[in-house]
Structure 1
Amino acid sequence: MQYIITAPAALDCTVKLPASKSISNRALIISALAGSGIMPDNLSDCDDTEVIVKALKDNPETIDIKAAGTAMRFMTAYLATTEGEHVITGTERMKNRPIAVLVDALRYIGADISYVEKEGFPPLKIKGKKLRGGELHIKGNVSSQYISALMMIGPTLKGGLELHLEGDIISKPYIDLTLWMMKEFGAEAEWTSYDVITIKPRPYTPRTYYIENDWSAASYWYEMIALNARPEDRIRLTGLFDGSKQGDSITRYLFSLLGVKTTFEKSADGMPGTVCLKYSGHGVTRLDYDFLNCPDLAQTIVVACVAMHIPFHFTGLQTLKIKETDRIEALKTELRKMGYVIEDRDNSELIWDGSIQGRSANSAPEVAIDTYEDHRMALAFAPMAFVRNYIRINDPQVVTKSYPHYWEHLDEVGFEICEEHKE
């Protein structure tokens, strides 16, 4: 299936963003470890969260988490410390995403985990039991989801957990989000050194929990207002905190560099408020940025910059190679279709000098963007409809992984979306 997307001339809308996938998935695991029968409020309805809900509710012998990397990491640690025997598996892409770092760490503290097919990769056979915990060393430059998975089971371990992170620490805001949420559920956990997290063996306390909406989803609306570049436009995004613990709340800063101004309307009852966006037109002419702490925003910012003709040099992108797809190669391939030739370096950098080779932004109208089973490819490329006559997106249904109602929301604010079936 393919969508042909045409942008509206103007934007003046209020959008109810989806709930945060990152917070939802952590809240579900921590609530389950707390023995809570209370489901978190405002839970995300995206694919990645629903597979965790189903696994926790049905407790099947074989758990299929499909393409949900977060679910694979979090559920692996959860199952290792929870009574029962399970096999956890996923899509073919998931079976090629490495998990040995997490498995080795869990085995070190007593977990019974074996590989069903290929060494170092899912599927996994897990025999859950009480784990001893103790001191554990893990590289800081691996996926922060490995680290968060270990942290969340820390309070359930006999000896607690002293987690030493070696070398550079990437995606630290996600680690801090996990730590903050653990404390919200009564855990004794803190940074005791710049690279050591200490978690006491104190059980979680069951509680009600309200989930903030998703700053990652907000980034695509920031992108839209930046690309339409009309000072008269207004977008209001509901359900967000000023001072959010979500790492991708850095969106507001990054897009301020691209000319988007953010103001907050706070809620009187302490609940999340509304973010108001407008285009100021005062942005940078070149952008250099290290995405070490927010790699999931890379696709949005790369696409925004080429569409706005802003040269860039982006670093800290090493985890993009092992996401839903190889995002570095996917970005290079799809942007090349429109004449934007992006250079990569050391599997961790992307560079664009501002040149367009052979085509203008509006030429080659039949170009279709492939999404590679990666939700963020569809989400990030759709706003390019503002700088082209229209844009074609292949396999647009991939957005259900994190933002199931994205296309409905675009339709509601004036986008024209035509569906075609590929032969």
Structure 2
Amino acid sequence: MTIDLAVPGSKSVTQRALVLAALADGPSELRGALDCDDSRHLRAGLRALGIAIEDRDPANWRVVPGPLRDPGRALFCGNAGTTLRFLSALALLLDAPLVLDGDEALRRRPLGDLTDALAALGLSATWAGRPGCPPVTLRRVGVPGDEAVVGAGTSSQFASALLLVAPRLPHGLTVRPAGPAVSRPYLELTVECLRAFGVSVEERDGGWRVAPGGPHGRSFAVEGDWSSAAFLLAAARITGRAVRLANLRADSAQGDRAIVELLARLDEPPPRFFDLRDCPDLLPPLAAAAAFAPGTTTIAGVAHARVKESDRPAVLAEGFRQAGVRVVELPDGLRIEPGGEPLAATLDPRGDHRMAMAFGLLGLRRPDLRVTDPDCVSKSFPGFWQKLERLC
């Protein structure tokens, strides 16, 4: 029997669409948006900046832009990296200081590559704690130029933040990554969202030229989230169940749609090697599925996953070992080896939604496992445990 499941709206698309709708020249309707912790923090920040958002319907929101105003207080971003980084770039449009803060986990996440680029565009950054991490106060001290070079070796969100604000700058903006960019499909997703809101973007010399003008208010449908779908597809593989997922685009710009091919490759003879540089969020579901595949599987290219909501390779390695999975932590990933005896354990996801979901996948075949703080999945996939139960 095939199990039909609906995939929630894409968190990545929801966050980008919220910013574009807030900067648009008229109201927008966002249909199928994701109501989760991250989007709630971004909506709260945008409201404090003067944007009206009607979201009584959890999935369908009306965004009415207006002049950005002094929020009069620090904006709390929780542990939402996109919220922190996207709001940081909005300081280019604000005539008042912008103070951004977050929880203890977010205070360990880097922002310096973005603030360095913002400094070249006329913003100053003052750090209240650890340099390069929030809390931070951003002040406009000069006139924005029309070109920015931004470090993208630890996160593509820095470049995405600049791209999203670019059409509202007087001369637009050319954005170039400084060296190879990780998670490049997310930059392509940002460009796709910009164009959907009527912004002119052209690729130029390894970067993008965003023309001034726009975004334009519109009705916008948020596609399904391939990052969330990856866990459901991995769960189906682990349990041997057939699943059909609704609300997904096979031609999506989301890099995590690669999960279909990656899971199929687990059927190849070992040893297997996966490079997830462009899709680091697939490390947790792929690693969990690999724990039940024969032979050795190496997952590499994800050193930048150490500065996500947690140090993901380290947290996965610790949890897998506690569950009896043989695993070697590598500088840029994991090597999962055959053997090992299932152990009863309580696994700590360190507040990281994707760690909790990965440990939940292990529990499909190892019922003596428990996950502390299971509710942390609300950051991106509030209904995860209910959907996972249907695949047991």
Structure-1-length-normalised TM-score: 0.83
Offset of 1:218 from its aligned partner? 0.6
Partner Cα distance (1:294, 1:318) in 2: 12
CA distance in 1 between partners of 2:291 and 2:386 (Å): 26
Alignment pair present for 1:288 and 2:273: yes
> 1:72, CA displacement in angstroms?
0.7
User: CA-to-partner distance for each residue in 1:288-323, whole Å, 9 max, x for gaps?
Assistant: 111010000101111110122341122211111111
Residues 109 and 132, structure 1, Cα contact 8 Å, conserved in 2:
yes
1:342 partner SS: strand
Q: Match for residue 332 of structure 2? A: 348
SS at match of 1:297: helix
Of 330, 355, 380, 1:377 maps to 355
Matched, 1:396 2:380: no
Q: Aligned-pair distance for 1:103?
A: 0.8
Residue 36 of structure 2 corresponds to which residue in structure 1? Answer: 46
Higher relative contact order (CA 8 A, sep 6+): 1
- Identical aligned residues as a percent: 28
Q: How much is the aligned-residue C-alpha RMSD, in angstroms?
A: 2.0
Q: Which residue of 2 aligns with 1:156?
A: 168
In structure 2, C-alpha distance between the alignment counterparts of 1:33 and 1:310, rounded to whole Å: 51
CA deviation profile, 1:146-203 (whole Å, cap 9, x unmatched): 110011111122232222223222111000000111111111212213x222222233
| Structure 2 counterpart of 1:228 | 239
Deviations 1:77-98 (A, max 9, x none): 1233234433211001111211
- Tell me how far 1:26 sits from its aligned partner: 0.3
AA at the equivalent of 2:306: K
For 1:58 and 1:403, locate their aligned partners in 2 and report how far apart those are by CA, in whole Å.
Answer: 25
Q: Does 1:73 align with 2:73?
A: no
Deviation >4 Å, runs of 4+ = 128-131
Q: Which moved more, 1:105-114 or 1:133-142?
A: 133-142
Residue 319 of structure 2 aligns to which amino acid in structure 1? E
Does residue 283 of structure 2 align to residue 298 of structure 1?
Answer: yes
Task: State the alpha-carbon separation in 2 of the partners of residues 184 and 128 from structure 1.
Answer: 29
Shift of the alpha carbon at 1:242? 1.7
Rounded to whole Å, the distance in 2 between the matches of 1:166 and 1:78 is 21
Aligned to 1:266: none
For residues 192 and 28 of structure 1, the distance between their equivalents in structure 2, rounded to whole angstroms, comes to: 26
Equivalences, count: 370
Matched, 1:409 2:348: no
Would the aligned equivalents of 1:131 and 1:157 in 2 still touch at CA under 8 Å? no
Alpha-carbon shift at residue 113 of structure 1 (Å): 3.2
What corresponds to 1:255 in structure 2? 263
The answer to whether the Cα contact below 8 Å between 1:81 and 1:111 also exists between their aligned partners in 2 is no
Partner of 2:220, secondary structure, is coil
Q: Which TM-score applies when normalising by structure 2?
A: 0.89
Segments of structure 1 that go 5 or more residues without pairing to the other structure are 1-10, 259-281, 416-423
Deviation, 1:378, is: 1.0
Task: Confirm or deny: 8 A CA contact 1:289 1:314 kept in the other structure.
Answer: yes
